[in-house]
Structure 1
Amino acid sequence: MQVTKLTDAKTYEAKQHWDMAGLRLQGVDATNIDAFSCCLSYFLPGGGAEWASSPNEKAYIVLDGEVTILTKENGVQKETVLGPLDSCVIEFNEERAVENRSNKVVTMLVVISN
């Protein structure tokens, strides 16, 4: 078993994110998992992530607060608001943006396939 205590989790910087602090819980440089990584993201009020896509699937699970996930379906922008224990999957190469439009910190668990 590989354990990462929150007190021992290492911070990391996510490209194209602003006003966001991330902690690596599993995978990458935290543990020897090959299939996925798991991170804890804290988005400050006004924080977010720019429009981007990646070749990895991502699951977003909101633990606290409220976050807006923007996607595009057939060229039309769609907004989905997620609250505590709501989740979504961003598919392979799907474009998305993330925005914290509230005045409360958003805590989100992010699981990323490798």
Structure 2
Amino acid sequence: MHVVRFADAPAYTAPGHLDMSMVRLQGREAGPSDDLWIGVSVIAPGGGTTLSASPQEKMYVVLEGQLDISNSATEVSLGKWDSCRIAGGENRRLANRTCAATVVLLVMPLPADERE
């Protein structure tokens, strides 16, 4: 068993992420994981990501607030408890267009070279 208290979750940064604070709850620097990592992002009003893709799929769950997600062809608005899968290689842009913070849970597989 490996426990990470939210108050102790390690912060991280990622390129193309603006006005966001991010912590890892499990995996990578937050502790051992065979296949995936889990993080929480708090996106300030006006914050989000640039349009980009990665080889790994991403699963987003909105825990609080509203999140707009675009893959450059389609844009959707997610509310509390809504979720979205972005396939590996698929573009995605996240945006918080509200005047309150948005809290998002992110689950991603580890790249093959990081799997135990």
TM-score range relative to shorter protein: over 0.9
1:71 aligns with 2:74: no
Give the total of aligned pairs: 110
Q: Which residue of 2 aligns with 1:29?
A: 29
* Regions of 4+ moved over 4 Å: none
Compute the RMSD of aligned alpha carbons. 0.7
TM, length-normalised to structure 2: 0.92
Map of 2:93 onto structure 1: 97
Pairwise CA distance, 1:20 = 0.2
Match of 1:14 in 2: 14
Percent identity over paired residues: 38
- C-alpha deviations, 1:26-73, integer Å up to 9, x for none? 00111110200000000000000001100101100000000100013x
Residue by residue over 1:60-92, the C-alpha shift from the partner in whole angstroms, topping out at 9 and shown as x without a partner, is 0000000100013xxxx2110000000000101
Aligned to 1:106: 102
Flag the structure with higher strand content.
1
| Residue 81 in structure 1 maps to residue 68 in structure 2 | no
Higher helix share: 2
